[in-house]
Amino acid sequence: MTTKVSAGTMKVAQIPKAGADFEIVEREIPQPDFGQVRIKVQACGVCHSDMFTKEGAWPGIQYPRVPGHEIAGIIDELGAGVSVWEKGQRVGVGWHGGQDGTCLSCRRGDFRNCRNLKIPGISYDGGYQQYLVAPVEALAAMPKSLSDVEAAPLLCAGITTYNALRHSGAFPGDLVAVLGVGGLGHLGIQFANKFGYKVAAIGRGSENAMLAKKLGATLYIDSKATNATEALQELGGAQVILATAPSSKAMSELIDGLAPNGKLIVIGATSDPIEVTPIQLISGSRTIQGWAAGTPTDSEDTLRFAELTGVRPMIETYPLEKAAEAYARMMSGHAEFRVVLTM
Ligand SMILES: [Zn+2]
Ligand SMILES: [Zn+2]
């Protein structure tokens, strides 16, 4: 089903107000301003964090708002002052949708932690539409061999797992556990394998055991059937546990599975507290660290690494008109594993 669009207009899947359902509307195609480009969107991943826009769970969102921060497309118009990027160039836009360049973090070169970070789909209209206007500091160049639907999820789920792991301090051969075999975890397992780690995938139930091994896990731990912490300790403890499953309980239970100097890296977002005693951290000098996506240059590294090593997301695609269905599928937790909208 394709809704007809008149000349100069485009189709948009927007949230009219916090907590409301998606609506498909026609809008004028936007013009890029100074320092911006217009992107003809080819594909946009549906991420759990789109919930912030859908439900109004992020402060200051102005409605109507178009969600979407896993955007793959083609530059089709340049705003004034844009020199490096070209019309017709394939680009991606992820969670990092622009920095102010003036806050203390930015002045230190730490753009990822910009105090006034802009996020597509939250600060401005994101990728659930046919055309998107974005500032140049949000753009990542796209390698030729990656298709749009494959690249889109790499711009949030991919970069987050890749970037967290490459900054984790684990060395090749180290035991790295990936908690959760889902949207983030199925990518985390692949990256961890390609980084040369001994990968322990941890899931609830046995149904993902075969898949986890196919994705590159050395072993699979069914945390329903066995004590995952003991299983990790029998292997000497994990240097890193990449916690992708949004379960604070599961994370808390695994802390004792860390090796001395081991690190729990939290990327599965929930608002429940993680429970840990000081003794658990003091003995073995363990740490817990959170990690948020990365900058567009980190995205480029992620895409290049995926191109080089064959890491790819497993996806289900839906047309833009079915954004509501696609979003519901993602929220159900049953998607295998990333949902992607095509325009
Ligand atoms: Zn995301
Ligand atoms: Zn800043």
Q: What is the 3-state secondary structure (H, E, C) of 118-182?
A: CCECCCECCCCECEEEEEHHHEEECCCCCCHHHHHHHHHHHHHHHHHHHCCCCCCCCEEEEECCC
Taking the CA atoms of residue 24, residue 25, residue 26 and residue 31 in that order, the dihedral angle to the nearest 10 degrees is: -90
Residue 5: predicted pLDDT: 67
Closest by CA to 48, choosing from 188, 161, 184, is: 184
**Whose atoms come closest to the Cα of 46: which ligand?**
1
* Rounded distance from Cα 110 to ligand 2 centre (Å): 8
* Rounded distance from Cα 45 to ligand 1 centre (Å): 8
* Rounded distance from Cα 98 to ligand 2 centre (Å): 9
* Rounded distance from Cα 204 to ligand 1 centre (Å): 23
* Rounded distance from Cα 100 to ligand 2 centre (Å): 4
Q: Token digits for 48?
A: 């759990």
Is the per-residue pLDDT at 72 higher than 80?
A: yes
Residue 6: predicted pLDDT: 67
Residue 134's Cβ-side half-sphere holds a number of Cα atoms within 13 Å equal to 38
**Whose atoms come closest to the Cα of 269: which ligand?**
1
Pairing verdict, β 23-28 and 315-319: unpaired
- Continuous segment of H or E residues that includes residue 299: helix 296-309
pLDDT digits 0-9 by tens, 161-181: 999 999 999 999 999 999 999
Taking the CA atoms of residue 307, residue 161, residue 202 and residue 217 in that order, the dihedral angle to the nearest 10 degrees is: 20
Residue 270: predicted pLDDT: 87
Is the per-residue pLDDT at 269 higher than 90?
A: no
* Rounded distance from Cα 298 to ligand 2 centre (Å): 17
Is the per-residue pLDDT at 257 higher than 70?
A: yes
Specify the residue for token string 């998107």. Answer: 132
DSSP three-state, residue 281: helix
Residue 293: predicted pLDDT: 92
Is the per-residue pLDDT at 2 higher than 70?
A: no
Residue 256: predicted pLDDT: 97
Q: Note whether 221 and 244 are within 8 A (CB).
A: no
| CA-based radius of gyration for the chain | 20
Average pLDDT over all residues of the chain? 96
Count of CB atoms situated within 10 Å of the CB of 329: 16
pTM metric for this prediction: 0.95
* Rounded distance from Cα 154 to ligand 1 centre (Å): 10
Q: What is the mean pLDDT of residues 287-298?
A: 96
Protein residues near ligand 2, an ion, with CB under 5 A:
99-100, 103, 106, 114
User: How distant, in Å, are the alpha carbons of 5, 284, 301 from that of 74?
Assistant: 20, 49, 19
Residue 1: predicted pLDDT: 47
Q: What is the mean pLDDT of residues 262-283?
A: 95
**Whose atoms come closest to the Cα of 102: which ligand?**
2
CA-CA distance, 275 to 255, in Å (whole number)? 9
* Rounded distance from Cα 114 to ligand 2 centre (Å): 4
pLDDT digits 0-9 by tens, 139-156: 999 999 999 999 999 999
pLDDT digits 0-9 by tens, 214-248: 999 999 999 999 999 999 999 999 999 999 999 99
CA-CA distance, 293 to 290, in Å (whole number)? 10
